[in-house]
Each structure stands twice: as C-alpha cells, then as structure tokens.
Structure 1
Amino acid sequence: MTDLRSRIVGWLGRKYIERKQRKGVDLVTLLPDAALMPLRRTELDPVAELGAKRATTPVTRLKLPFGLRAWLVTGYDESKEVLGAAGKFSNDYTNLVGTAGMSEDTNPGGLGFADPPDHTRLRKLLTPEFTMRRLSRLTPRINEIINEQLDAMAASDGQADLMQSYALPIPSLTICELLGVSYEDRADFQRLSTVRFDLFAGAGASFGAISESLKYMGEIVRKQREAPTDGLLGMLIKEHGDEISDIELAGLADGVLTGGLETTASMLALGAIVLLRDRSTFELVRENDDAINNFVEELLRYLTVVQVAFPRFAKEDIEVGGVSIAKGDIVFVSLSGANRDEKLGESMESFDGTRESSSHLAFGWGLHRCIGAELARMELRAAYPALVRRFPDMRLAVAPEDLAYRKTSVVYGVESLPVTL
C-alpha cells in the first residue's frame, strides 16, 4: 500500500511539473535549495558539502517535491556503475515531464535524451563523423579561428573580455564549420545554446525555448536537404538519405550545438582563470608542447563544467553502492563530485597541471559518453598554448573574487572574464 501511494504521488508530481513546463515556469523554482547543492560552487571548486557527502554516503537520497523519489550519486565507482548500466536506466526525457503536450518541436531529442534502439541507430550514423580521421579536416580551420580572435584582441586597447572575445567564438565558429552552415549563424548559435541550458539552470527557459531551437535547426536541415554541403549535416544526408528524418537531424544538430558550444566555451574561460592565477602552470603551457595533453586532461577533471549528467530513470529495482533504488526513481550523477574522488588518485580536490591523465568522467561514461569529446580536446589543446604565447603578460583586470560565476547551472561557467593583455 505504501509503495502504491508513493507511485501515485510521484505520478501526480510529474503531471504538476508537466503543466508548469507548458506555462513556462522554470524547473529550478520548483526545487528546494538543498536539491541545488550539486550545482553550487565556491569559485572553481564544488561546495565542501558535496565532498562530505561523497566521503560518507556516495549514494544519498535527494529530497524533491511532489513525491518524486531521487538519488544523488557522488562517488567515482558508483557513478561509473550508473552511467555504464544503460540497460537498467532510461534517459528518455518524457519520464520526467510526461508526454501530454509533448510534440516534435518541444521534445529535446538528440542522443542525450534517447534510449536504445533509437539511440543505437542514431549514434551509429553519427559516430563516423566524430572519428579523429574525419575531425582532422577541421584542424586548419580551428587554428585559423583561434588566430583570428587573437589578432582581433591584439588590435584592441589592451583590454579584453576573454569570454566574449575568445572562449565563445572558438567553439561557435567551429560548430558552424562542423555542421556546414553559414558563419552568419554564429550569434544565434550562441544565444540558443545558452537558452537551452537555461531550461535546467532556471534562467527563464521553457518549452518555448526548446521549440525555437529545434525550429531553427529544422530550417538549417531543410536547406541542407536542398543543397548538402560537406559538413556533418550534409554528409549525413548524402550518405544516409531517408534513413534519418529531418526531425532526427534537427535533434542531432541541436545536440551538437548544446553539447559542444556552451561546454567548450566554459572550459576555455575557466581554464584561462586557472592559468591566470597560477603563473607556474601558465609558463608550463607556454613553453612546453609536451605538457599540453596532461594539462588539458587535468583541467577537464578539475573543472568538470558539466556538473551533473543527464538524469537517469531506473527501469527496474536496482542496487547501487549498497543502496536500493526502486523502479521509476530518478538518479542524478554528480560528475564534479565523482571527479574529485580520491579513488582517482591523491589530492583530487586540487589542480596539478603535471598530473598524469586519469580516467575522469568529464565526458560521461558508457553508452551516453559525449560523442564530441575529441573535438573538444582538439579545441582546448590548440587554444590554451596560442593564448598564453600571444599574450605572455596577460593578467586579470579585476580581483579574482569579483568574477561573476553562474549560481546554479548544469554547465558551470563565468559570465565575463575581463583581462589586461
């Protein structure tokens, strides 16, 4: 009887969220403050409470309203267990918000919110486009983009906002190149990427934001159907034709945008902060080509800008880390928590630019591991050395404590990064 009651309350809770979503109410306003703890940081570091939970209860109950049963996973081993158990968890977005009112232009789609067999089919089509062999064609253009941004900053008055002048343009222009669309779309790409993540971060997003993004991508797909280019969308159309629908293509394009723009931009900006507050690491990256790989991997681990993985929904009763999770429960994996676990090595709460690469979870794990991981690495490995070599005397233009970081965002970042070049 108790189990039936909890399931009924949970169902009613989902219906309530569904109605609020359709009215444009931010999801974050429905959450108690304690539930937002995994998204909070003190500058670059997760709040101490996250580490304390990992040390004592790596799988803990997360109190949500409306009878929703949820769990927070903060331990490294436990996180890999959940992320790797695709057959026991669902990523389908409708598990949370229901299907009433959900249409083709309000369902996020893409790989992140898809389950097999749809996920398997779509990822199989997309994976060849993200091999190093295919991505290598972008290397000259990525270097050009980086140098163009550096030249523009060098022509300024000696002041710059690295977020606007460097961190955002590099991934947005790279994604234009990857998808095979006009660079004139850059401004819309940046705006739509930020809006999409606001759905989770509570900054005014709603189903309408998803709809706008997917309609925008749908128009790009339509143009590609008429005249396919050599970019990702054009190649998918030329090689697979009717195997993939316009709706699916728009969802994949939207996933590439949201997964590759905001995240890489945040990494570039936050990584620059690491460099600017640690002169020895700054000089290491500037002088030693061999150091860049370990530096980037350590940054990915330490910063973990995607703080929480896509929510998982238990498809059956399951035990994780000795804790019983019931069918239908929501599981949130704290990637930022898992990547600070001492099981990865010593002193994981601190940054060490010379640390040997670890098996971090910054790109996730298992079936839903970020398909664009290698593209992100390419951009980061090229952008950091170029920046510190062009501006060896660069300094923050404000006190570190005056930087405006995002308060509660799945993708952590800084609003602006003023520097003296």
Structure 2
Amino acid sequence: MTEILSQPEVPEFPGTRAARCPFDPPPNLHALQKEGPLAKVRLWDGSTPWMVTTYAEQRALLADPRVSAEFSRPGYPRQGPFTGSFASFIMMDDPEHHRLRRMVQAPFTVRRVEGMRPAVQKIVDDLIDDLLAGPKPVDLVEAFALPVPSLVICELLGVPYADHDFFQDNSKVMINRGTAPEVRAAASARLAEYLNALVGEKLANPAGDLLSRLAERVKTGELSQLEAAQMGVLLLIAGHETTANMIALGTCALLQNPDQLALLRAGDDPDLVAGAVEELLRYLNITHSGRRRVALEDIEISGQTIRAGEGLIMPNDIGNRDPEIFPNPDELDISRDARRHVAFGFGVHQCLGQPLARMELQVAYSTLYKRIPTLRLAADLEQIPFKHDGAVYGVYELPVTW
C-alpha cells in the first residue's frame, strides 16, 4: 500500500490581524518569521511566491539588482487583477525608473521640505483652532488627519484643494482591496483625466508648482501629457493617503499607550519628536501588503534558492518586528532608536516622499497633543473601524473628544 504524505499547507497572504491587536501584524507572520526568513504563501490567484519575513533578508533583496519591480513581468506577485493602463515609475526598473523619478524629486529633498515646515505648522494650528472651536466628539480623520497632508500636497503639486472630495473619494476606491477591477479602473481613469486637464492648464499657464515642472517636461518631449498626468496621480494619492493614515493611526496607538503619549507631550526636544515619528513608523506600518518583486536570476540567500521568475513579497510590518534588530519589537517605545526601519522601503525604490512625510508627522504629533492635552477616544477601541480591507492600513474614522 502506498503511503500518501500530507503536504504542509501554504498560508494565504495577506493574513488577518488579531481583533484585539489591531496595531500588530497578522499572527501567522510572527509564526512564519520564527520558522525562518523565507516561506511560501498563497495569493488570490493561487500563485505561491516567496514571502521574506526577516529584516536583513528584506533589505538585501530590496537592494539586489537581480530583483525587479516591473509588475508586468511573469511571476510578479500582483495584489489583484489588473485592469487599465495606469503604471507608475515605482513599478519600473532602472534606467526608466531613475529617469522619471529624477523629474519629481527636487521638491522632496530635506532642505526643500524643511523650508515648508512653517507653512505646515500654520495648517496644523489652523485646523486645531477649528477643532477647539467646533463641536465634540469629532472624527479626527475628517477634521484633521486627512486635511493636513491633503492641503500640503495640493499646494506642492498645484492641485486645487477645493477638489479634495473628488480626489479623496476616488483614491479610496483605488486602494481598497475589495474594489472590483473595473471599478478601480474607472476611478483611476477619472483621476488621470482630472490630472491630465490640470497638466493642460499648466502648459498654457505655468506656475511654480510640481505639475508645472512636469508640464515643462511635456513641452521638451521628455514626457507625454498622459505620462505627466499619471505621475501626478501617483504623487497626489501617495501624498495624502499615507500620511493621513499615519496621523490617525499613530494618534490611536498613542492613546492606547498613555505612558508613551505623556513622554511625547512633555518633551520639547525636536530629537524626541523625530524619534517618536520613527518608532511609530516602525510599529504601525500602514503599507501592509508587502513590497512586491520578481527574481530576474537565481538568487541564493539564507540557504535557499529563489529561482528566476519567482515572486517575492517583503512585508515591512513583520520586517520591522524582527527581534534581531528591534528588541521587544511588539512594544511601542518612542525612546528607541528606530531609524533603521523599512517602513519607507530600501534601495533605489525607497519612498521619494519620506522627508515630507516625516516633517508633516513631526509637526502634527508635536502640536496636537500639547494643544489638546486631554484628547481621548470617544469610543471603545473595539468600535474603531480599522482598514483591514485597504492597501493602506489605518482607520476609517477616529472619534475623539477632550
């Protein structure tokens, strides 16, 4: 009689967070990390790419030129069915990735971003003035977390903030994991059409904003108008969704860790605030679908061979909880040196807008809790609607009072 050997079950990705631990990665990621740096996972389409669970291996592979970010390559582990023609430079390899990225990187340098700090401080103060003058409880997402980065990115790009409902609504559709492909494609098309019209306006009447710079590239023939519009879509979505979610989710986490909130509120040292931002970025990880790549060649790493054409997923949420790098990684500790986190990725595709995000978070966190020292949740944590279905993690609403 032939014995049938059972095969180990391949876990599905993404997994489900524990209901009582909404700030932590799904428990199965911790379990896989303990077993070793690489494991196979199963995606929506039945494919089984490699998942990389440890910090050192994630950084090594993200910096490896034998690993591609091109989503059109066979074996690339897509997040869902792709419908439409939208593609951004973050899903391209060099040299095309570098050519396009350098066209938009100047406004995001540390020096340029620091020059924006007083304007961001005024935005934050004005919104807190409105909070204090208005009714309570209030949804902090709608009244503060979302307007702060939206106002900033609109000013930087040259997008009218009056249109924020339009681009925020379509952004939400695009980044929801449960959105049907055709619905996502329609939202993408609406945003591309909107940005295409704005680029057209900048061609006729240039200003000092980033869309005007892209329009100049159109004039010189370096970009088509559609390519400029698609770059605008990427920057507009990334510029408000990620930071908005970090402001709200970070506030929620700090309210659940009152000792850490008290430490942040009492400190006047900019280095303490900057350190708190880095620790919250490490601890929370709003980009929770993993950075996705495909191997171009066979790669030997940690005693395992990744074959050419095999997909790779590197979830930064579990990479940032690697106990070999961050002792007691499941604890929020704003005095920790967390600057080595991979929340912004690593290698040539490291997040372009990270200096801006850091500065916005520093201003928001350092101001909100001091000006409203009795800030507290107006609902139990179990009642907060977390974005388990979003490609960007956070909360849909955060009711607060004081």
| TM-score, normalised with respect to structure 1 | 0.85
- Which of the numbers 86, 92, 103 marks the counterpart of 1:125? 103
Partner of 1:45: 24
Partner of 2:169: 191
Matched, 1:180 2:120: no
C-alpha displacement of 1:131 = 0.9
Task: Answer whether contact 1:196 1:258 (CA < 8 A) is retained.
Answer: no
Matched, 1:324 2:301: no
Give structure 1 stretches of 5+ with no counterpart: 1-31, 99-104
Q: Please list the CA deviations of residues 278-322 of structure 1 after superposition, one character each: whole Å capped at 9, or x if unmatched.
A: 222222222212120110000000001111344212222222332
Task: Answer whether contact 1:73 1:333 (CA < 8 A) is retained.
Answer: yes
- Which of the numbers 349, 366, 372 marks the counterpart of 1:368? 349
Q: Please list the CA deviations of residues 171-219 of structure 1 after superposition, one character each: whole Å capped at 9, or x if unmatched.
A: 1111101101211122222123222212xx1234432232222222212
Letter in 2 for 1:386: T
What number of residue pairs does the alignment pair up?
Answer: 381
Matched, 1:343 2:324: yes
Matched, 1:227 2:208: no
C-alpha displacement of 1:111 = 2.3
- Which of the numbers 256, 274, 294 marks the counterpart of 1:277? 256
More displaced, 206-215 or 268-277?
206-215
Matched, 1:202 2:183: no
State percent identity of aligned pairs.
Answer: 34
Task: Answer whether contact 1:270 1:414 (CA < 8 A) is retained.
Answer: yes
Partner of 1:26: none
More displaced, 210-219 or 380-389?
210-219
- Which of the numbers 113, 117, 142 marks the counterpart of 1:135? 113
Query: Hey, what's the Cα distance between the residues in 2 that align with 1:145 and 1:93?
Result: 37
Task: Answer whether contact 1:129 1:135 (CA < 8 A) is retained.
Answer: yes
Partner of 1:16: none
Partner of 1:155: 133
Query: Hey, what's the Cα distance between the residues in 2 that align with 1:309 and 1:213?
Result: 25
Q: Please list the CA deviations of residues 336-372 of structure 1 after superposition, one character each: whole Å capped at 9, or x if unmatched.
A: 0100001223111111011123300000000110000
- Which of the numbers 382, 388, 393 marks the counterpart of 2:369? 388
Partner of 1:401: 382
C-alpha displacement of 1:120 = 1.1
Task: Answer whether contact 1:138 1:178 (CA < 8 A) is retained.
Answer: no
Partner of 1:84: 63
Partner of 1:18: none
Q: Please list the CA deviations of residues 202-253 of structure 1 after superposition, one character each: whole Å capped at 9, or x if unmatched.
A: 2344322322222222122111111112111213434784223222221221
Q: Please list the CA deviations of residues 96-151 of structure 1 after superposition, one character each: whole Å capped at 9, or x if unmatched.
A: 699xxxxxx93332221122221010112222221122223422321222122111
Give structure 2 stretches of 5+ with no counterpart: 1-9, 77-82
Query: Hey, what's the Cα distance between the residues in 2 that align with 1:393 and 1:96?
Result: 53
Query: Hey, what's the Cα distance between the residues in 2 that align with 1:174 and 1:186?
Result: 12
Matched, 1:292 2:273: yes
Could you say if the C-alpha distance between residues 34 and 412 of structure 1 is closer, same or farther in structure 2, counting changes exceeding 3 Å?
A: same
Task: Answer whether contact 2:140 2:248 (CA < 8 A) is retained.
Answer: yes
More displaced, 304-313 or 356-365?
304-313
C-alpha displacement of 1:386 = 1.2
Residue 93 of structure 1 aligns to a residue whose secondary structure is coil
Residue 46 of structure 1 aligns to a residue whose secondary structure is coil
Letter in 2 for 1:192: N
Query: Hey, what's the Cα distance between the residues in 2 that align with 1:122 and 1:273?
Result: 36
C-alpha displacement of 1:60 = 0.6
Task: Answer whether contact 1:175 1:260 (CA < 8 A) is retained.
Answer: yes
Partner of 1:115: 93
Letter in 2 for 1:322: G
Computed over aligned residues only, the root mean square deviation of the Cα atoms, in angstroms, reads 2.2
Matched, 1:251 2:227: no
Could you say if the C-alpha distance between residues 130 and 40 of structure 1 is closer, same or farther in structure 2, counting changes exceeding 3 Å?
A: farther
Matched, 1:352 2:333: yes
| TM-score, normalised with respect to structure 2 | 0.88
Task: Answer whether contact 1:37 1:47 (CA < 8 A) is retained.
Answer: yes
- Which of the numbers 286, 292, 309 marks the counterpart of 1:305? 286
C-alpha displacement of 1:39 = 7.1
Query: Hey, what's the Cα distance between the residues in 2 that align with 1:96 and 1:209?
Result: 26
C-alpha displacement of 1:68 = 2.8
Query: Hey, what's the Cα distance between the residues in 1 that align with 2:326 and 2:43?
Result: 33
- Which of the numbers 14, 27, 35 marks the counterpart of 2:13? 35
Q: Which of the pair is proportionally richer in helix? A: 1
Could you say if the C-alpha distance between residues 89 and 39 of structure 1 is closer, same or farther in structure 2, counting changes exceeding 3 Å?
A: farther
Partner of 2:80: none
Letter in 1 for 2:358: R
Task: Answer whether contact 1:39 1:409 (CA < 8 A) is retained.
Answer: no
Residue 125 of structure 1 aligns to a residue whose secondary structure is coil
Query: Hey, what's the Cα distance between the residues in 2 that align with 1:311 and 1:267?
Result: 21
Letter in 1 for 2:249: L
